[in-house]
Amino acid sequence: MGLFDRTFCRTFVSSWFDFFILINLNLGMLHLSRPLRALATWLLTAQSIFATDFLINSDDELSDLFQNNSVQPGDAIIWEDGVYTDQRIYVLASGEAGNPVTLRAETPGGAQFRGDSQIKFGGNYIEVSGLLFYNGDNYDREVGSSIA
């Protein structure tokens, strides 16, 4: 990782935004000049600039992302199109309100899961879309809200 990795950039932007707000509050500045308003707006939205898309094609790759703490709020995990069998998809991440972690197929319905494939979630603000599960078993199960 270089000097300007994602964690550094997110921390830098967040710290400068906090400093900017603190200075303006302490100086009683109610009206910001146009350039300062533009900077404040950029700092508020800059975190999404550092979001990452991860392209994966196995449950092992997904597991590695979470074990290495690579997934941050706003990131997207994109499952390559294809037919997969007996995949254990455990999503262990948390996004934020307005900045969720997303798990999606490369194209809607393009990532297809068969056999004993399963998906479980552990975290907050997780969005899942475009994954297709079929030819599974006929057992009725309750969908849990977290992984034990």
Q: Could you identify the residue written with the tokens 């967040």? A: 14
- The mean pLDDT of the chain is 76
| Per-residue pLDDT reduced to its tens digit, 50-78 | 788 999 999 999 999 999 888 999 999 99
Is residue 81 a contact partner of residue 110, using CB atoms and an 8 Å limit? yes
Q: Using CA atoms, how far apart are residues 130 and 78, in angstroms rounded to an integer?
A: 10
What count of other Cβ atoms lies within 10 Å of the Cβ of residue 90? 14
Q: Amino acid identity of 10?
A: R
Q: Using CA atoms, how far apart are residues 99 and 79, in angstroms rounded to an integer?
A: 19
CA torsion 13→29→35→74, rounded to 10°? Answer: 30
Maximum alpha-carbon separation in the chain: 65
Q: Is the pTM of this model over 0.85?
A: no
Q: Using CA atoms, how far apart are residues 137 and 115, in angstroms rounded to an integer?
A: 7
| Per-residue pLDDT reduced to its tens digit, 10-39 | 555 555 555 555 555 555 554 555 566 666
Domain ranges, ordered by start, for the chain: 6-49, 53-133
Q: In sequence order, what are the residues at sequence separation of 6 or more whose Cβ sits closer than 8 angstroms to the Cβ of residue 2? A: none
